[in-house]
Amino acid sequence: MRDLANTKDRQKIDLVSQKNYSIPGIVLMENAARSCWEAITDFLSQKTRGQETGIVVIAGPGNNGGDGLSIARRAGYAGFPVIVVHCGEWKSDLARVQYEMLAASGFAFCDWKTNWAAAESAIKSADLVIDAMFGSGLSRSVGGDYLPIVSLINSVDRQQAFVISVDIPSGLFAGFNPQTDICVQADLTCAVSPADIALYTPAYRSYAGRIVHVDAGFPPSACDQYSGQHRLCEVMDKVLFETRLEATAYKNSRGHVAVYAGSVQWPGAAVLAAKAAGLGAAGRVSLMADEKIIPLLGTQLVSTVIGNNEGSLPPGATALLVGCGWGQEPGRRDLLRKLISQQKPMVLDADALIVMAELEEDIQQYSSIPLVMTPHPGELAIISGNTVKYVLENFAATLMEVAQKFNAVVVGKSHVTCVVHPQKGCFWVDGMTPALGTAGSGDILAGLIGAELAADGDPLRAALYGVLSHVEAGKKISKGPAELLLESLKDGLLINGSDIIDA
């Protein structure tokens, strides 16, 4: 896992590193630039671009511009043709030092404020544009002389050239409004660790392109002071959250998940949720459904016990999954109230989340019960009383508000998923996996989380393992129906020797 941080905390880490650890700012800048250049050369090698690649570095007046100038120096020394386009002023002493080093080496410069035609020609003919105008310290919308240069960068033909941003796409900041503001659209962002949370906020994620994390050499203890509430989890971290099965485990010792799902309109949701649950850590799966669809479900499920969802629990159930494909059938509210009163660990998904809005007091009455909620942005907007736009721009804050209100682990689903624990903070998973954007994908995720929750009652572990397994399965397929995703998930969860603890 990697730490993420907000803009203010990132600035504090930088200052503390210099003041308390006596690391000169120029050293931190050189470290970041070197790490960025390594990431850039790796990117170019993947794109089969060599030293003939024409590079234009667009440098702003502050420290982000200084990073860009240092990168330009490395590119020039490595034999790449480099032009530095700048704004004609240096507000940062470090940026001025970098400029003087380049000038002493005879690098080519172009001031876009005094020679727009030359700047425009350089950018349009470049093979690689490196955006180093503004870092995450920006606190307002881009305007004035910078508006046309951002627009020019975004007009670059991406079939012929690439745009790489240093730390964060210039113009992007915590209060960015996609409807009225403008920022650079990057193909790759070299984010200095700990990276800015704004990069992973769903409303802004697409501006960054592929994100790679680079190292400025901040002392770990300095980072620990101001980070820890936001972490980035990657598929490789899945092993940290998997259930370790004893060699002597059997079906009754591994947990039993009861799935309350399906309706006449959406019977397939129940099938997908139950099948996904069968791939998890639980030893048993029961599907409780409306009487009308039980005969149909029986033809689709082999190892699942199917019963009527009148409200009684299957014997031995250790966790409940409620809501997949439920629809707005009569009696859902009363049934959910009954299930909540059983005080079992629970996953609430889809229509159960909408019904839940009418049962806040019931849920809060049993706030000690392990609870996982899995809303998409539309459902999260209803639960929180906000617009979808607000939710996407304030994802972590909205999820934390809901998590604390219901003392629940909340899985905010989007092209970036954020799993929030009311005390342990936010765990981001950078999905960006279009294969997961298909009908039934959410039912599969809910089923897997439900099975994991049934195994040990740990809602955060269950949610993170489910989300990471889901993303891993999605990345193995490019597109297709939920059934294909289910097969990919099955392949990824096949038990091997490492999953079992010897007796």
Summarize pLDDT for 232-260 with one digit per residue, the tens: 999 999 999 998 888 888 888 899 999 99
Q: Residue 329: its pLDDT value, please?
A: 81
pLDDT at 496 over 70: no
Q: Looking at residues 162-178, what average pLDDT do you find? A: 94
pLDDT at 287: 97
Rounded average pLDDT over 80-92: 93
Nearest to 59 by CA among 118, 133, 127, 169: 133
Query: How confident is the model over 307-328, as a mean pLDDT?
Result: 91
**Section 205-232 average pLDDT:** 93
Helix, strand, coil in percent for the chain, rounding step 5: 45, 20, 40
- Among 108-112, 285-289, 354-358, which stretch is predicted with the lowest mean pLDDT? 354-358
Q: What CA–CA distance (Å, rounded) separates 203 from 481?
A: 26
Q: Is the per-residue pLDDT at 194 higher than 60?
A: yes
Check residue 494 and give its pLDDT. 54
Q: How confident is the model at residue 309 (pLDDT cuts 50, 70, 90)?
A: confident
Asked if the model's pLDDT at residue 500 lies above 60, the reply is no
Q: How confident is the model at residue 226 (pLDDT cuts 50, 70, 90)?
A: confident
**What are the tens digits of pLDDT across the range 12-34?**
999 999 999 999 999 999 999 99
pLDDT at 495: 42
Q: How far apart are CA 308 and CA 355, in angstroms?
A: 20
Distance CA 210, CA 393 (A): 20
Burial of 426-437, coded b for 16+ CB within 10 Å and e otherwise, reads: bbbbbbbbebbe
Find out whether 202 and 232 touch, Cβ atoms under 8 Å: no
User: Which amino acid is present at 277?
Assistant: A
Contact 64, 86 (CB under 8 A): no
CA–CA separation, 306 vs 296, rounded Å?
11
pTM over 0.85: yes
Average pLDDT over every residue of 217-226? 91
Residues 69, 102: Cα–Cα separation, whole Å: 7
- Pairing verdict, β 245-246 and 230-233: unpaired
Assign 402 a pLDDT band (cuts: 50, 70, 90). very high
> Residue 370: its pLDDT value, please?
96
Better-predicted residue by pLDDT, 421 or 360:
421
- What's the pLDDT score for residue 248? 84
Query: Which two structure tokens, joined as six digits, stand for 452?
Result: 């994991």
Q: What are phi and psi of 30, to 5 degrees?
A: -65, -40
Q: Which long-range contacts (CB under 8 A, 24 or more apart) does 497-501 make?
A: 499/242, 499/244, 499/245, 500/244, 500/245, 500/246, 500/247, 501/244, 501/245, 501/246, 501/247
What pLDDT score does 15 carry? 95
pLDDT for the residue numbered 245: 82
What domains can be seen in the chain, in order of their start residue? Answer: 2-227 (3.40.50.10260), 237-496 (3.40.1190.20)
List the one residue out of 466, 34, 130, 445 whose CA is nearest residue 275: 445
Average the pLDDT over each of 46-55, 227-236, 284-293, 390-399 and give the range with the smallest value. 46-55
Cis peptide before 459 (omega within 30 of 0): no
Give the type of residue at 42: D
Q: What is the pLDDT of residue 284?
A: 95
Q: At how many degrees (to 10) do helices 63-77 and 93-104 cross?
A: 20
d(CA 174, CA 190): 18
Look at residues 296, 317, 314, 285 and name the one whose alpha carbon lies nearest to residue 446.
Answer: 285
Percent of the chain with pLDDT over 70: 97
Q: How confident is the model at residue 209 (pLDDT cuts 50, 70, 90)?
A: very high
pLDDT (tens digit, 9 = 90+) per residue, 69-83? 999 999 999 999 999
- Alpha helices, H only, 83-173: 93-104, 116-125, 146-154
Give me the mean pLDDT over the 416-437 stretch: 94
> In this predicted structure, which of 134-143, 445-454, 465-474 has the lowest mean pLDDT?
134-143
Residue 497 scores a pLDDT above 60: no
Mean pLDDT of the chain: 92
Mean pLDDT of 466-471: 95
Extract long-range pairs of 487-490: CB within 8 Å, 24+ residues apart: 489/276, 489/279, 489/444, 489/448, 490/279
Express each pLDDT in 431-451 by its tens digit: 898 888 888 999 999 999 999
Between 206 and 226, where is the model more confident? 206
The token duo for 171 is 């113009």
| CB of 227 closer than 8 Å to CB of 482 | no
